[in-house]
Amino acid sequence: MPELTLGSTLSGYAFLILGTVLVDNFVLVRFLGLCPFMGVSKKLEGATGMALATSFVLTLSAICSYLVNSYLLAPLGLEYLRTISFILVIAVVVQFTEMVVRKTSPLLYRVLGIYLPLITTNCAVLGVALLNVQEQNSFIESALYGFGASVGFSLVLILFAAIRERLEVADVPGPFKGPAIALITAGLMSLAFMGFAGLGGA
């Protein structure tokens, strides 16, 4: 992240978000969060709901884990408990999201089904929290990093779902049907995203 040296300026923030959405896309470039990317991309509605829920959780958990890390773990010298405490924070945020979704939109709650609690194990969520510490991001940078990651995740998840709806009617040869062709498509998407390599950076 060479942009972070500009950290305090607004254009630095814009580059941070743009870089996380396109250049370092969490799904297609960093290969994090592949399980929901494959699991919930069969229908556009489900994908949109999942994208919204994950975006909410990602941004919120990035903020919460930053707070926990710098005001609880660092002062007490408990950095070795980082991973486990981040998992705890994420689980709480997911539980909170689940309660909100259940109250506000029972339909979305039914569509998301098992996948909502599974956000807990979405590696992108833990990845964002840990990468924030590794990059030594400030509070605002952490929030923006989480937000950018969730926008990038949502973007490719929704576009992928639209492609997969079309693949349903394609005359795919037997051995490639289902997850195989989905993985190949994801690979080709990742190939296309390599075009953004070096954007704004070096």
Partner 1 sequence: MQFTVASSPHLTPATSVSAVMLKLLLALLPGVAVYALLFGWGILLNLVIGCLSALVIEALFLFWRNRPVKKHLGDYTAIVTAVLLVLALPPLTPWWLITLGVFFALSLGKHVYGGLGYNPFNPAMVGYVIVLISFPTELSFWPGQLGLFGDFSLVDTLQYSLFGSLGEQTLDGISSATVLAAIDNGFSQGLTLAEIQQQAAFGLLGSAGFEWIALAYLAGGLWLIQQKVIRWQIPAAIIATVTLLSAVLWLVDSSQYASPLVHLLSGAVILGAFFIATDPVSASTTRKGRLWFGAGIGVLIVVIRSWGGYPDGVAFAVLLMNIAVPMIDYYTQPRVYGHSK
Closer to partner 1 at the Cβ: 14 or 158?
158
Contacts of 147 (CB under 8 A, 6+ apart): 17, 55, 58, 59, 62
- Rounded to whole angstroms, the Cα distance separating 30 from 63 reads 21
Q: Is 195 in the site for partner 1 (CB under 8 A)?
A: yes
Q: Is 48 in the site for partner 1 (CB under 8 A)?
A: no
Q: Are 162 and 189 in contact (CB under 8 A)?
A: no
- Rounded to whole angstroms, the Cα distance separating 86 from 112 reads 24
Q: Is 188 in the site for partner 1 (CB under 8 A)?
A: yes
Dmax over CA atoms of the chain, in Å, equals: 60
- How many other β-carbons are positioned within 10 Å of the β-carbon of residue 109? 18
Give the interface segment with partner 1, choosing from 5-13, 32-40, 110-118, 177-185 (CB under 8 A): 177-185
- Rounded to whole angstroms, the Cα distance separating 145 from 140 reads 8
**Which residues in the 99-158 window bind partner 1 by CB under 8 A?**
158
Tell me, what DSSP letter sits at residue 132? H
Give the interface segment with partner 1, choosing from 94-102, 120-128, 129-137, 168-176 (CB under 8 A): 168-176
Q: Residue from 75, 103, 134, 166 that binds partner 1 (CB under 8 A)? A: 166
Q: Is 197 in the site for partner 1 (CB under 8 A)?
A: yes
Q: Is 165 in the site for partner 1 (CB under 8 A)?
A: yes
Q: Residue from 4, 14, 92, 172 that binds partner 1 (CB under 8 A)? A: 172
- Rounded to whole angstroms, the Cα distance separating 67 from 124 reads 19
Q: Is 185 in the site for partner 1 (CB under 8 A)?
A: yes
- Rounded to whole angstroms, the Cα distance separating 140 from 147 reads 10
Closer to partner 1 at the Cβ: 135 or 165?
165
Q: Is 38 in the site for partner 1 (CB under 8 A)?
A: no
Give the interface segment with partner 1, choosing from 1-9, 84-92, 121-129, 162-170 (CB under 8 A): 162-170
- How many other β-carbons are positioned within 10 Å of the β-carbon of residue 135? 14
User: Which residues here bind partner 1, judged by CB under 8 A?
Assistant: 44, 158-160, 162-163, 165-167, 170-173, 176, 181, 184-185, 188-189, 191-200, 202
